Structure 1
Amino acid sequence: MRKNKKLLTLLSMMLVLVLVAVGCGTSTETPDTGDATGEVKDTLIVGQGADVVSLDPHATNDQPSSRVSKQIYNTLVNQNEAMELEPGLAESWEKIDDLTWEFKLRQGVKFHNGEDFTANDVKFTLLRALESAKIGHIVGAINPEGIEVVDNHTIKIATNEPFAPLLAHLAHTAAGMLNEKAVTEGGENYAQNPVGTGPFKFQEWKTGESVTLTRNDDYFADKAKVKTVVFRNITENTARVIELETGGIDIAYDIPPTEVSRVEEDQNLVLLRDESLSTAYIGFNAGKEPYNDVRVRQAINYAIDTDSIVEAVYQGVGKAAKGPLGTNVFGAHTDLEQYGYNLEKAKELMKEAGYENGFKATIMTNENQQRMDIAEIVQNQLRDINIETEVQVVEWGTYLDETAAGKHDMFILGWTTVTGDADYGLYALFHSSQFGDAGNRTFWSNDKVDELLDAARVEADPAKRAEYYSEAQEIIREEAPWVFTYNGENLAGTRKNVKGFKQHPAGHHKLVSVYFE
């Protein structure tokens, strides 16, 4: 009996030791990432619809690249999912006068190459950004002579004129802070070896296939909850959803409307659906005939049934656009009149412009199924006003280059007003100084619109700014450099065991807080 008691006591002690050992083997830093098989899962795989163009934030302003750069770099100011401004690499800021802001920087922050983050890096980053043809407009209000390093962790930034949305612009992914040493040593190859201060470090980019990032264990804030993030390029929408279903990816960006019910009905998946800051449009090349004639542009607007496009292509996700901005953007003119489908009006305008018998045209788009579907619908509808179109489907990087160079008649594209402010949604797209790479791929300009957009930039009173933007949007709507197609939603799908993922209205989603349950 006594021996049995000793044996039981010994077994109990051994069990306690085993439990303690198991408990010690679980990291307190990273939640349990066990999957359904009981295996530890520490790699998050994200599928998106196009490859990265560049991981140098000054070399591109496209969505797929920005989504990856968001994980690598930090900005001075953050804009959270509610579009509220929060401290980033700057702990605090103060407006000194109408032109000047002073920023106090976080101490103890290190770049991925081990270099300390200082005010000199801020100055280097902003001066370099100002020289960029791709994103210079985002920081273009800054006076290069007005950037003053006070000390290692204090910097003053002055604008050429008062610029109300400066803080929101400094929260843009293109304003991610760079390390001067890394950029200099990287030279022309810096985009293949990016260095930031973000929660993930760059590991590998397989062009056309994937980008792999690893956790930055020296991150100054809460560390990432997974060790590795892989962004996979899965161009075809249905293939991306199938990969989500089968567990090939854990998160799928840009779930197509045609697959919404499929994701919703799968018990192993979760659909996230949130209002976005995006708008989709069909742009004209107003720098060439016949698209330099406003009557032709208006006729095409009347000949295209955007309501049917939203119904057929987007299947009720989002809504038909009335103008260039979504209703959740500050300064959006919500009372604009939609063009509407009016074939007789379209024919009258074509006749007035001398194109009663029509003409031949091309519609350029990239390998995006929804855009290709829209191109096909537009191709059919424009036959009713004797416009014969050829659809050209071009690889994403080439597509951006060719539309920036004006090698198109019409093109289908989208824009996300990342800052949530009308300045970003209008200036880059419609100001005459922004032709090409900066955003104005229609090469359309209007002196009055330039004047209004310039005035709104320097106006401090929000109500007055909104008035300027409303008037500008009325002119843009009337002049029709776009067919105003669609205001969108963010649709993403996740595996059910993925937790902590939140969508950002701008479409640049943070992954630092994502983990597996």
Structure 2
Amino acid sequence: MTFVNRLAAGTLALLLPANPVLAADLRIALAAPPTSLDPHFHNNGINNAQARHVFDSLTTQDANQQIGPGLAESWVLLDDVTWEFRLRRGVAFHDGTPFTADDVAFSLERAPDVPNSPSSFGTFTKQIKGWTIVDPYTIRLHTDGPSPLLPIDVSVIAIISRQHGTNASTADYQSGRATIGTGPYRLAEHVPGDRMVYTRNEAYWNGVEPWNKVTFRITPVGPARVAALLAGDVDVIAEVPTTDSARLRQQVNVRLWSGVTNRMTFLSVDVHNEVPIAGNISDNSGNPLPRNPMRDLRVRQALSMAIDRDAIVERVNEGEAVRADQLVPERFFGYNPAIRPEVTNPEGARRLLAEAGYPDGFRVVLHTSNDRIVNATRTVQVIAQMWGRIGIRTTVETMPHTVYSGRTARNELSQMLHSWGAGTGEASGTLVGIAYTRGGAYGGSNRGRYSNPQVDAAIRQALVTVDEDKRRAILQDTMAAVMADRAIIPLVFWVSTWATSRDLVYTPQANQATLAMALRRAP
């Protein structure tokens, strides 16, 4: 299996400056700050997007998360457990030191082992058991068994400088002392929680960017971001509130750019505990139930059948979402076209509840964070109404994400609204994260403790199957099995919208990243 340096014309055009002679400053308003500028500290979408301005990776993901060459010009599978990456010559770090295979080895060593990481990059490196530097521009990665997804996994590992990274702490990257990469921009200033300022790398190997300086400002309140754009204080805003989209489309000096993302809003229910978690489920009089109704497939089918996903798209998200009937969007590898959309059927749902022994329903509490998932509070309120129509009397409880994540990790909640973004562009990453039995290296975001040994075995098989057609079939069958179990109930895929001044063009990113490299002057 060999990859040659071949990019789609549209993607290549995006990577090159539209007007190389035009130099200007760019001001972008973000909804939330990165938790760190250390590219290996926290596997987080905002952090990873910021890292891409300063650092490159061996392979890259385009706007649709398709893999292309990065610091590696090509790669080849030499045998079942050895990948060889041929590196670009003539690439330099921002300080002028040459990039070599030794920097790749150093990065792969550091990425999974940063102290106090809240979400380690070890997920993407765990299959690598060693490497051999053949020469300064060739490195072989040795894996623990077949690893067909390795070229995808390394696309999220930033390559850092051994010279500047040796003994450097996360604080050194925050301050900028160690923030020296091979990427299109250099870090000029970082005020945590307030702004990041970058200046362009005039010697960038992939073509000089058109922006002299890029300033990211942190503006958490949606209406404040909108106001800043309309006042001309910023050129671009991320995460346009769905409530403001229609108004902004009426503005002659504003352009909106929308795209379906990899991020899904879904429900996860407790199928692990035989007795309901205290305070989460009760009978209609408020008394504890002797057994957990969520362990009955008919109950879970009823909950899913009662939800009108199209109404959530239109009424809750003002059309700025796409209904979800499986765990990855249609364009993803492993999407199963044979899975039929769930038909909303309250009458059928009531019949299923009666068959399960709950003709009069019962009471539940539905939880969500109120500061991380788009329109989360409105979503759970609408679902509570829909479940109420089939006899599931639902109380909604919301809380800050910092509290919510801790409670879900401690297995304190039974019915939960979550979101998930498939960072690899393939269904295996999603299945590993939220459908695999929780424990060990996999299932870290499986909050409802769903567990199906056959599903686990199929996921493990997919992860070591090199033949793409066979792997696709395994993933599609696994997706069908997970959907049939209804422990994870998909609702919608997010549509992310960016707003820019009239003279700019933005290419929406499936991973929701806000990138200066995706912005160009309008023709």
C-alpha spacing 1:30/1:136, structure 2 compared with 1 (3 Å): closer
Please point out which of 258, 269, 294 is paired with 2:254: 269
Quote the residue 2:5 is aligned against: none
The aligned residue for residue 144 of structure 1 is: 129
CA distance in 2, matches of 1:361, 1:272: 37
| Partner residue in 2 for 1:487 | 493
Aligned to 1:6: none
Change (3 A) 1:234 1:181: same
2:422 equivalent in structure 1: 417
- Structure 1 equivalent of residue 310 of structure 2: 307
Say if 2:346 is the partner of 1:343: yes
Deviation of 1:234 after TM superposition, in Å, equals 2.9
Map of 1:430-445 to 2, 5 A cutoff?
430-432=435-437, 433=439, 438-445=444-451
Distance in 1 (alpha carbons) for counterparts of 2:248 and 2:434: 34
Residues 40, 158 of structure 2: 8 Å contact kept: no
CA distance, structure 1, for counterparts of residue 98 and residue 242 of structure 2? 45
Shift in CA distance, 515/464, structure 1 to aligned 2, threshold 3 Å: closer
Q: Equivalent residue for 1:122? A: 104
Mapped to 2, the partners of 1:30 and 1:400 lie a distance apart of: 45
Q: How does 1:91-110 map to 2 (within 5 A)?
A: 91-110=73-92
d(CA) in 1 for partners of 2:106, 2:270: 36
Identity of aligned residues (%): 25
> In structure 2, what is the equivalent of residue 56 of structure 1?
38
Q: TM-score, normalised by structure 1?
A: 0.82
The correspondence for 1:365, drawn from 369, 386, 394, is 369
Structure 1: runs of 5+ lacking an equivalent:
1-27, 34-41
Q: Letter of the 1:329 partner, please give it.
A: F
Is 1:259 matched with 2:249? no
Structure 2 CA distance for aligned equivalents of residues 327 and 460 of structure 1? 22
In the TM superposition, what is the alpha-carbon distance from 1:206 to its structure 2 partner?
3.6
Matches within 5 A, 1:94-243: 94-112=76-94, 115-131=97-113, 134-136=119-121, 138-140=123-125, 142-145=127-130, 147-172=131-156, 175-190=157-172, 192-193=174-175, 194-243=179-228
Question: Cα gap change, 1:277/1:208 in structure 2, threshold over 3 Å: closer, same or farther?
Answer: same
SS of match in other structure, 2:462: helix
Is 1:282 aligned to 2:267, yes or no?
Answer: yes
Which residue in 2 is equivalent to 1:470? Answer: 476
Cα root mean square deviation, aligned? 3.1
Q: Partner of 1:171: helix, strand, or coil? A: helix
CA distance in 1 between counterparts of 2:246 and 2:19 reads: 36
The answer to whether residue 452 in structure 2 is matched with residue 452 in structure 1 is no
Deviation at 1:323, TM superposition (A): 1.1
Q: Does 1:322 align with 2:325?
A: yes
How many equivalent pairs are there? Answer: 477
Structure 1 residues 29 and 434 mapped into 2: Cα distance closer, same or farther (>3 Å)? farther
Aligned residue number for residue 375 of structure 1: 380
> What do residues 196-254 of structure 1 show as CA deviations (whole Å, max 9, x unaligned)?
32112234444443333332344333223223222233333333233222222211223
Q: CA deviation at 1:49?
A: 2.6
1:344/1:436 CA distance change after superposition, 3 Å: farther
What is the Cα deviation at residue 110 of structure 1? 3.3
Offset of residue 400 of structure 1 = 4.7
**What is the CA–CA distance in structure 2 between the aligned matches of 1:158 and 1:261, rounded to whole Å?**
52
CA offsets 1:108-140 (integer angstroms, 9 cap, x no match): 433346554322221222233344772446424
List per-residue Cα deviations over 1:446-498 (Å, max 9, x = no partner): 11111111111222222221221122111211222322101333422211122
**Contact map agreement 1:404 1:436 (CA 8 A) in 2:** no
Over 3 Å counting, the alpha-carbon distance change for 1:128 and 1:49 in structure 2 is: same
Structure 2 residue matching 1:178: 3-state secondary structure = coil
Contact 2:56–2:158 (8 Å) recurs in 1: yes
Give the whole-Å Cα distance in 2 for the aligned partners of 1:274 and 1:189.
Answer: 35
Distance 2:313 2:518 in 1: 34
**Which has more helix, going by share of residues?**
1
**1:406-432 deviation per Cα after TM superposition (whole angstroms, max 9, x unaligned):** 454333333332332222232222122
1:515–1:462 CA distance, 2 compared to 1 (3 A):
closer
1:310 deviation in Å? 1.0
Q: What one-letter code is carried by the residue in structure 1 that aligns with 2:466?
A: A
Q: Which amino acid aligns with 1:272?
A: W
Q: Distance in 2 between matches of 1:508 and 1:451?
A: 33
Task: Give secondary structure in 1 for the equivalent of 2:79.
Answer: coil
Alignment check: 8 A CA contact 1:43 1:227 kept = yes
Shift in Å at residue 181 of structure 1? 4.6
Deviations 1:349-400 (A, max 9, x none): 55566665523424122415522221221233333434332321314x5555
Q: 1:110 to 1:162 in 2, by over 3 A?
A: same
Give the residue type in structure 1 aligned to 2:377.
M
**Native 8 Å contact 2:185 2:198 kept in 1:** yes
More deviation, 59-68/153-162: 59-68
Q: Distance in 2 between matches of 1:160 and 1:224?
A: 39
CA distance in 2, matches of 1:52, 1:434: 27
Q: Deviations over 1:84-128 (max 9, x none)?
A: 433211122222122211112223433346554322221222233
Comparing 324-333 and 426-435, the one that deviates more: 426-435
Judging changes above 3 Å, is the alpha-carbon distance between structure 1 residues 348 and 400 closer, same or farther for their aligned structure 2 residues? same
Higher Rg: 1
Distance 1:287 1:60 in 2: 29
Distance of 2:295 and 2:407 partners within structure 1: 22
For residues 233 and 133 of structure 1, do their structure 2 counterparts lie closer, same or farther at Cα, with a shift above 3 Å needed? closer
**Partners of 1:283 and 1:441 within 8 A in 2:** yes
Superposed displacement of residue 156, structure 1: 0.3
2:204 counterpart letter in structure 1:
Y
8 Å Cα contact 2:101-2:139 kept in structure 1: yes
What code does the residue aligned with 2:300 have?
Answer: R
Paired residue type of 1:331: G
SS in 2 for 1:139: helix
2:49 maps to 1:44: no
Query: How far apart, CA to CA, are the structure 1 residues paired with 2:86 and 2:190?
Result: 34
Give the CA deviation at 1:161. 2.1
Residue 336 of structure 2 corresponds to residue 333 of structure 1: yes
Paired residue type of 1:324? L
Deviation at 1:514, TM superposition (A): 3.6
Structure 1's 480 and 49: CA in aligned 2 closer, same or farther, altered over 3 A? farther
Residues 151 and 516 of structure 1: is their aligned pair in 2 closer, same or farther, counting only changes over 3 Å?
same
Q: Is the 8 A contact 1:148 1:156 kept in 2?
A: yes
The verdict on how the C-alpha distance between 1:276 and 1:29 changes in structure 2, with shifts beyond 3 A counting, is closer
Distance between the aligned counterparts of 1:93 and 1:394, measured in 2? Answer: 44
